[in-house]
Amino acid sequence: MESALGWLELAQAQRLGGEKDPLLLSVRSGASISMPGMMDTILNVGINDANVNGLAVKHRNVTFALDSYRRLLQMFGSVSYKSRSNAFDQASEVASLDGKEASLRQTILSFQQLIEYRTGKPFPMDPRAQFCKRW
């Protein structure tokens, strides 16, 4: 996996966890036989507190970067930790409707707190830990 990730980082000229232009991954659960609709996917793996602002600068869009982080936390909590997705829905609706930076930042903090409350562990800031079962 590390060699494949190294190849991808070179090919994309980005680094997983990079602070200015982070490489983001989509991670799909695996199965020996694929069944449509049965595989979980987590988008935006690689975003963390240290690089979300770099992502915003790179794309000249803070709302895009923060909403991408919010989506990662929501999918990560729902899929990886098997938290009920409706636990994230209410806070998410407010941020999605209003789309303001302050609302998105508050939603991100709320989601991080919800993950820690439900699991006893903080959301992993190490991008490799986000896609590997090290937590």
Q: Give domain 2-131's CATH architecture.
A: Up-down Bundle (1.20)
Work out whether the CA dihedral 47, 52, 54, 59 comes out positive or negative.
positive
Write the DSSP assignment of 90-105 as a string of letters.
HHHHHHHHH--HHHHH
Please check whether residue 72 is in contact with residue 45, taking contact to mean a CB–CB distance below 8 angstroms. Answer: yes
Distance of CA 132 to the CA centre of its chain: 13
| Mean pLDDT, residues 74-97 | 73
Q: What is the mean pLDDT of residues 43-60?
A: 97
Q: Residue 33: is its pLDDT beyond 90?
A: no
3-class secondary-structure state, position 42: strand
Domain ranges of the chain: 2-131
Per-residue pLDDT of 97-125, as tens digits, reads: 666 899 899 999 999 998 998 889 999 99
Phi-psi region of 121 (alpha: psi -120 to 50; beta: other; left: phi over 0): beta
**Band of pLDDT at residue 135, cut at 50, 70 and 90:** very low
pLDDT value of residue 72: 95
pLDDT at residue 93 tops 80: no
Q: What is the pTM of this model?
A: 0.87
